[in-house]
Amino acid sequence: MTRFDRHLLARFLAASALLVGLLIVTFIVLDYVEYIDDFMDRGATLRQVFGTYYLHYVPEIVRLTSPLAVFLAAIYTTARLSQSMQLTALTMAGVSLYRYLLPLALAALAITAGMFAFNGYVVPRAYAVVLDFQLRYYADAPEEETSEVFRQTSPDGLLAVGFYEPEQHRGYRVALYTFALDSTAGASVPTRLTARLDASDMTWVDSLSRWRLDNAALRTFAEDGSETVREVGALDTALAVLPRDLARTERDAQRMTIPETRAYVEALRRAGASRLGRPLVEYHAKYAYPVANFFLVIVGACLAARRRKGGQAIQFGIGLLVAFAYLALQRVIEPFGYAEAIPPTVAAWLPHVVFALVTLIVLWRAPK
């Protein structure tokens, strides 16, 4: 790595860090101004707001703003060199644009890998605290939907609840599935359904720390396909599921790490859940969103490499337009994945595939 490469990387990383810091401060100020009345009306103290809420919100802000920050940093760093004719001097000295982009591309790859780990493992833990705080102190907090709840109770057991009322600790249209497991491959894999316990409703009994099922019926399934039904009536059962576990919503994937989200989606699939759009989009987005950092750095540097009338102001204007189009495309397509109007995997990856093509075109058309 040459001295110029080190100088370029230092300026790019310093600009990225500064922009991330400014975006964090801007976001916190705007959010606080918007929700200060809610905080005061609902009794949140300044220590709770800044020591709990915004402290845990910072990782999510970094996740959201890092593509924009590195994009603007790439534009700023390259535009400074372009406007001062340093890029022209490098070109005349035989240094191609591709060679100039090499240290920025390596930095972008490192940032992408770091944000992948950050988004997949750090952000979910912190964002879970943020969501709980919002539900408690936001006056317009979204209602948590608790229909079609699925929870794994054991390696061979799965609980399905058609609708759950968190305040009453009561669930309706309950089914408890038991599977036969195959451990020959080293891991326990469900092979077939052996029993299903159906109940009209279930209620948490605090004094017993157990769930009480009403109007229960047990169905057992033999290997030959025959079925036996036995009416049970009322039944107390010690499931490895607490009321707070059933209070989760379809936004669960936002609170989970990558392995947890994968296991969650697998459990929903095994139980035959009908709405997998949002969890699947959230799962694939944990892989896809960090890729935006790489593409935006390359595009930003290529756009700023060409000298334009108006100087850096024009460069930043064009850059903001491109970044907005990229990020807006993600927000527009994701709801179609939630509703499964298009495959969730496509909804998560399509904006990045489109922008990968844009990156190739911009790279090809950039001055060499």
**Contact partners, residue 324, CB within 8 Å, separation at least 6:** none
pTM over 0.75: no
Q: How far apart are the first and last CA of the chain?
A: 21
* Nearest Cα to Cα of residue 168 among 125, 229, 211, 227: 211
Quick check: 167 and 261 in contact, CB under 8 A?
no
* Helix or strand run (H / E) with residue 191: strand 189-205
Confidence band for 30, pLDDT divided at 50, 70 and 90: very high
Q: Output the average pLDDT for the chain.
A: 83
Segments making up each domain of the chain, as ranges? 3-139+282-365, 147-248
Q: 330: helix, coil or strand?
A: helix
Q: What is the pLDDT of residue 315?
A: 62
What DSSP assignment string belongs to 269-326?
A: HHTT-S--HHHHHHHHHHHHTTHHHHHHHHHHHHHHTS--TTTHHHHHHHHHHHHHHH
Structure tokens, 133: 């705080």
Confidence band for 367, pLDDT divided at 50, 70 and 90: low
Q: What is the pLDDT of residue 111?
A: 94
* Helix or strand run (H / E) with residue 196: strand 189-205
User: What are 41-57's pLDDT values in tens digits?
Assistant: 888 888 999 999 999 99
Q: Is the four-CA dihedral 146, 151, 153, 156 of positive or negative sign?
A: positive
User: What are 76-134's pLDDT values in tens digits?
Assistant: 888 887 777 777 677 777 677 778 888 899 999 999 999 999 998 999 989 888 888 88
* Nearest Cα to Cα of residue 232 among 246, 221, 218, 252: 218
Structure tokens, 37: 């009345």
